[in-house]
Amino acid sequence: MENHSLPKLHIAPLFCLLFLTSLVNCQLNYTFYDDSCPSLTKIVRYGVWTAIANDTRMAASLLRLHFHDCFVNGCDGSVLLDGGEKNALPNLNSARGFEIIDSIKSNLEKACPGVVSCTDVLTLAAREAVYLTGGPYWSLAFGRRDGLTTSETAANEQLPGPFEPLDNITRKFAAKGLDTKDVVVLSGGHTLGFAQCGVVKPRLFDFAGLDASFLQSLQSTCPNRNESNSNLAPLDASSSKFDNVYYKLLVNSSGLLRSDQALMSDNVTGSMVVGYSKFPFLFYKDFGASMVKMAGIGVITGSNGDVRKNCRVVN
């Protein structure tokens, strides 16, 4: 991470998006922790900032972890529990950032013990990861409680995969109350991070519509040998910065994942991609709105669920 100093974290964001209460689950509250844990945002932001300073990939990892949590039986912190979802194919040996959430949670337990759920920690950490890498800022309502179970089977069934056709992915989003626009917008999260070559290499043998220079670069990063499966290929040309380069690459037939490039195969999603490639502010605004929608999927509130002391195990 380039020369970030802590005072910069308090500068007002360039794109500060305020969303009306109607956009969030009505049981969540913007002031939920104002009295019980007023230092929440400061503690989470510092934890995420430190993590990214040590490993620029961590921003993408925290964003992905939040996505994978919410898409499996709702945003309930179940992906953080040991076993279950962690062992599912989309997460095994690829989901990262658990120790960052553990560290942040530990600091929160010292400041305000037994107050902040692991689910809310992960939700806030994902926003901070985007904001600290140059992306938008959106207001979050809190009050999510932690689930008591985790399911490997549910994760395998409900998470969209990099090899699935667009129709399948759209159906999985729709099952969570997210529409086609959300598919395109949230896919833009792939402006951050890397993918393992084992996921990417099938693209090497499908030359149709693939930009020639992109193909050559991909073959160099991911040679056709088993030992290259764990190599990392950047999801876009500025993989540590949140921007709209991801969409520019799709327009140029240079999407790293098959599921990403598939967005250009449909007139509706393709036109959205073109729009976001030209207007970054529009992408930032819509990304914040879609993240708010996603963070409200299947939340547990009130006296249900738990507020875990340790995010890896139920109390």
Q: Is 74 annotated as a binding residue?
A: yes
Q: Is 78 annotated as a binding residue?
A: yes
Q: Is 85 a known ligand-binding residue?
A: yes
> Which residue in this structure is represented by tokens 């030359």?
207
Q: Is 306 annotated as a binding residue?
A: no
Q: Is 162 marked as binding a ligand?
A: no
190 marked ligand binding residue:
yes
The answer to whether the annotation marks 236 as part of a ligand binding site is yes
Would you say 191 is a known binding-site residue? yes
Residue 4 marked as a ligand binder: no
Is 10 designated active site? Answer: no
Query: 225, exposed or middle or buried, with CB in 10 Å at 0-12, 13-18, 19+?
Result: exposed
Answer yes or no: is 66 a known binding residue.
Answer: no
The annotation status of 34 as a binding-site residue, yes or no, is no
Residue stretches of the annotated binding site: 69, 72, 74, 76, 78, 85, 160, 190-191, 236, 243
Residue stretches of the annotated binding site for substrate: 160
Residue stretches of the annotated binding site for Ca(2+): 69, 72, 74, 76, 78, 85, 191, 236, 243
Catalytic annotation, residues = 68
